[in-house]
Structure formats: C-alpha cells, structure tokens
Chain A
Amino acid sequence: MLDDFFMRALVAGVGLALTAGPLGCFVVWRRMAYFGDTMAHSALLGVALSLLMGFNLLLSVFIVAATVSILLLLLQKRGTLSTDALLGILSHATLAIGLVMVSFMTWVRIDLVGFLFGDILAVSRADVDLVWGGGILVTFAIIWMWRPLIASTVNPELAEAEGMEPEKTRLIFMLLMALVIAIAMKIVGILLITSLLIIPAATARRFSTSPEIMAVLASVIGALAVIGGLFGSLKFDTPSGPSIVVAALGLFILSLLTKPRTSGVDSSTASQGGQA
C-alpha cells in the first residue's frame, strides 16, 4: 500500500496532523504562534548548515530550532527588548542567513521551493517511518507531562508553588516543537508549518469543553485537512502543502458558521488576557 506515492503522502500527512493537534493547542493557549513561526523559519538555517557540513538534515534542523528557542529564553531574561521584537529579529535573521548561505553554496543544487513549501508527494518510505516514529514519541511525551503542561500554561507561578517545574516543562515543550518542525518541514514546508499547528487547534476551540477534548479534536481536524488538501491537490493539480493549509482554513471557516456548543463564546470574552 505504501508503494504508491499518494498513499505515502496521505499516511505521512495524517501522522503529522495527529501529532500537531495537541502541540498546536499549546501554541494557541500559550500565545506562541509567532514563536512557532520563528522556529520554523530558523529551519532553513538548519538546512543550509546541513548542506555545508554534511550533517543529517533532520538533526541539523532540530538543533538549530532548539538553539534559537534557547537563545530566545536567554534574551528574554535580559529583558531589554520585547519578546515581539526579539522574535522578529530571530525569525527573519535566521531565514535570511539560511538563504544567503544556500546561495553561496554554488556546488549544491537544492530545491528551495521544496523546503519553503514542502514536497509531501515526494516522501519516501523512510520519511513515513520517521513521521510516525517521531509523532508517537512526541505524543507520548505530551501525555506524560500533560498535567504540568496544562498547569504551567494556566499560570506558571501557581504550578511552581504547588510543586511543579514550569521552566523544565517549557524547555521540554520547546524541544518537542523543534522536533515536530524538523519532521514537518518536508511535508508542508518551512513557511506553512505553524498553520498546521494553529488552524486545527483554533477550529477545535469552538467545539471543546475541556483542554483534552480540544487536543483530540485538533488532531482529527488536522487529519481531515490533510486528506482534503491532498485529494484537492490531486484533482485540481495544485501544490500539495498550500492545498492542505487551504483545506484547514476551509474547515476553520465552516466552524465559524456553526453555532458554538457552549453559550457565549464570542468576541466579548476574547478580551481576557493570557500568559505566554
């Protein structure tokens, strides 16, 4: 069954969407959308370094994304610039350095578009194994630290006062995100990774009454978007990565048209502030 390129794309895409669901919920809850973008953009620097040094691509992307997130933590502690500005600097600096480095390496021919927008139809059998292996690892890690993750998302000081370690939780969460970005790069591409994290989670919010339900729903909605996007790309001969995102957006718009399950989830409650 996995001999067919389309089938491989489906299996890999669904595997990624299932992993991205719960992770995406935390990105939304913790207001880390721009942070996810920054990590994703830094992936191109990882690609360039991998080509330059001959490292394993996945490992190199993971290390660069993890380094950027730790760098951000350190810069935040110095507190001279807002997180917003720091993210803007890191995000575009790493992307630009990556692009410059790639242009210097005249001896390698790389498919830049493939890295930026993904090439899900070209996933190999090994890629499928990687997506599912990595996905299961990430999902188990999230289930294992679910309570501290939720508690430190609601309020890190409360979590710490009651015997948890929010700093450690945050660090592990960032590493998991770096791993998912490294895995997802090939499927939806650097520029669209965060959309696969955020859009299904945002869609799931209206139908959820607990964080757990929202995490599972986000996975299911993400998987539907991948299936819809891939079939759409086959039918209309459109690029697969962007098609998946468009399908996710379609589901999100549909969800806006339906009546929410819980009464009064409207813009008037959206003004409540949150903790990053």
Chain B
Amino acid sequence: MLQTPTKTVQPLVSLSGVGVRRQGRWLVRGVEFSIAPGEIVTLIGPNGSGKSTTAKTAIGVLKADEGRVERKAGLKVGYVPQKLAVDWTMPLTVDRLMTLTSSLKGAEIDAALEATGIRHLARAEVQHLSGGEFQRALLARAIARKPDLLVLDEPVQGVDFSGEIALYDLIKTIRNTTGCGILLISHDLHVVMAETDTVICLNGHVCCRGTPDIVSQSPEYQRLFGARGGQTLAFYNHNHDHTHLPDGRVLHADGSITDDCRPNDGHHGDILPTGGRAGPMRLGLGSGHVHGPNCGCGHDAAPRSEDSKGARRDA
C-alpha cells in the first residue's frame, strides 16, 4: 500500500449521506465515502445496485437529491464510462480519441498508448478494436490528460483473465507514479484489485465496507490465479448485517423489515466513519445473519452465477 489516507489530506471528493432518486424510487441512498489522492476505492455490488449511479454522482454527472458531494476545487477527472459505443459513421482513430476532451502533445499521447500497450494501434479506427483493446484505448485516453481522479466503470469488462491482471497492474502503476485517486467499479462481487484501499459493497445503500484480503500467500489461490494474479487480485469478504428480500425490502439482523436501509436507521450495530476502514467484523451463519433466496451479495455457501471466476473462500 502506498499510503493510508489521513484526515489531514484534503479528499479529492467526498460524499456524505448521498441519495439519488429517479421517478420516485431511490437508486442509492445514504452513501458515504471519500477518496484521497493516491487512494483506490472499489465499488462492488450486484447489477442495478447503484454503482455507476454513485460514481456519476461523485463526479457531478448526476445530481444528488439528498446529501452532500464535495469536490476539490478544479478537480480534473479522467472517466472511463461503462458503456461507450462510437457510432460507426464517425471516423475516429485511437490517436484522435486521445484528444477528445483536451488537447495533448504527441509525446503525451504516445506515453499513454505505450503504458496501456496499444501504441501499435494508434492509427486504427476505434470501431475495429476488440473489446479489450477498446478498454485499453479508453483507459489510455483517461490517463493521458493526467487527472487528479480516475473513475473507471468496469474497466476490465470484455478483457480476458490475463488481460485483467495486466490492466490491474497498470492501474496500480498509474496510482504509484501519478498519485491520483482512483474510483474503480468492479463487475466481480468477490475478486477485487489487491491494491484497493477501501472496498464498498453497494445494494441501493452501503451494505458493508472493508479492506480486501490479499491471497497471494495461499497456495490454493496461487494455483487459481497464477503467481502474478495472486499478487494483483484479492478477495473481499462481505460482512452484511441485513438481507435484501425479493421485493426490495430489507431484513435486518434484529428481525425487523424496512423499505430501505441507511447507516443511521438504528438497525446497525456498527456505524463506520466516512472513508474509514472497517476491521473484519464477520457475522457467521449462526449469528443472526440471514440469507434470502435473492440476496444479491452472494456471500452464502451455495455457488452463484455471479461468481465468474468460480473461486470463493469456503464458508
């Protein structure tokens, strides 16, 4: 880890009690976190849990309907959106894509393309790139403008496993060399980037947060991910004190059922400070932790389809 965010460093962005509502429904509510320079925050959660909404709210693309979002004055953001389809009618080479939102020197473009390993594709049209190449091009574009905060919405989608490890290594290098803060959205519920400082599990609200477990020591995971993968990837152990029912309501550990779930609604024993790190506070199956059939968090023992890697820590 490069550094631990401390209270003295002004955060690049901080969210407190943030909620976003669309057509009378809260997409997310009660979101609290902040990102300091050099810090990597990973958002995980099932589909539709508000990960992208939260990230967009953090960088001002969406307005918060409640709560406060504070951004450092003059914050420079580099953004890799989850979906980006360039209409085939627009002739756009990788080179031209680099200068989409800011003008750059040729050397800066080359350096970014070199870093992401696609310099040979500089003259290729973006519509002809494979999914993985296009993700690299988007990442190159975002880093070429030297942002203070890099927001990556599922940057490893469409990238094969070794490519995923290479991209995470690259993200680590970017953080270490530029010291920018990184907000990463992961499509995987359990496997996150090992360098992540804070993992936040969302499902309409912050379900739990903590640090990932580095797995490089365990021979089992060494075998699963390979020696390099073991250093780059990490497991995140979910730590939930409530269950999401099929109708969207929330069943708390104390047996009560509410329409939504917020940090200070009185159903949670432990309220974590903003941006803080939760120590491992595991609730076993026998300690009031109830798993619903549609509990999207996938932290029960039965294998679930979300586990794309098929790897898990046995409960």
Bind each other? yes
Instruction: Verify B101–A158 contact, CB threshold 8 A.
Output: yes
Given A161-B59, A269-B88, A150 and B100 touching (CB < 8 A)? yes
Instruction: Verify B77–A163 contact, CB threshold 8 A.
Output: yes
In the complex, the 9 A-B pairs of residues with the closest C-beta atoms, listed nearest first: A274-B87, A161-B79, A162-B101, A273-B85, A208-B91, A29-B90, A272-B88, A161-B59, A269-B88
Find the B residue at minimum CB distance from A271. B88
B222 CB within 8 Å of chain A: no
Interface of B is mostly: loop
In chain A between 186 and 214, which residues have their CB closer than 8 angstroms to a CB of chain B?
202, 205, 208-211, 213-214
B96 interface neighbour in A160, A162, A210, A262, Cβ under 8 Å: A210
B81 interface neighbour in A158, A209, A214, A265, Cβ under 8 Å: A158
A238 CB within 8 Å of chain B: no
A-B contact pairs, 17 of them (CB 8 A): A151-B101, A154-B90, A154-B92, A158-B79, A158-B84, A161-B59, A161-B79, A162-B76, A162-B77, A162-B79, A205-B89, A209-B93, A209-B125, A262-B125, A264-B128, A265-B88, A272-B127
Given A29-B90, A209-B93, A161 and B84 touching (CB < 8 A)? no
In chain A between 143 and 167, which residues have their CB closer than 8 angstroms to a CB of chain B?
147, 150-151, 153-155, 157-164
B151 CB within 8 Å of chain A: yes
Find the B residue at minimum CB distance from A204. B91
Chain A residues whose CB sits within 8 angstroms of the CB of B93 once the complex forms: 209-210
- Mark A residues whose CB is within 8 Å of B: 28-31, 147, 150-151, 153-155, 157-164, 202, 205, 208-211, 213-214, 262, 264-265, 269-270, 272-275
Please measure, in the bound complex, the distance between the C-alpha atom of A270 and the C-alpha atom of B88, giving whole angstroms.
Answer: 6
Interface size on B, residues (CB 8 A): 30
Chain A residues whose CB sits within 8 angstroms of the CB of B59 once the complex forms: 161
Chain B residues whose CB sits within 8 angstroms of the CB of A262 once the complex forms: 91, 125
Please measure, in the bound complex, the distance between the C-alpha atom of A29 and the C-alpha atom of B89, giving whole angstroms.
Answer: 6
Instruction: Verify B79–A272 contact, CB threshold 8 A.
Output: no
Find the A residue at minimum CB distance from B147. A162
A161 interface neighbour in B60, B88, B96, Cβ under 8 Å: B60
Instruction: Verify B92–A210 contact, CB threshold 8 A.
Output: yes
B305 CB within 8 Å of chain A: no
Chain B residues whose CB sits within 8 angstroms of the CB of A214 once the complex forms: 90-91
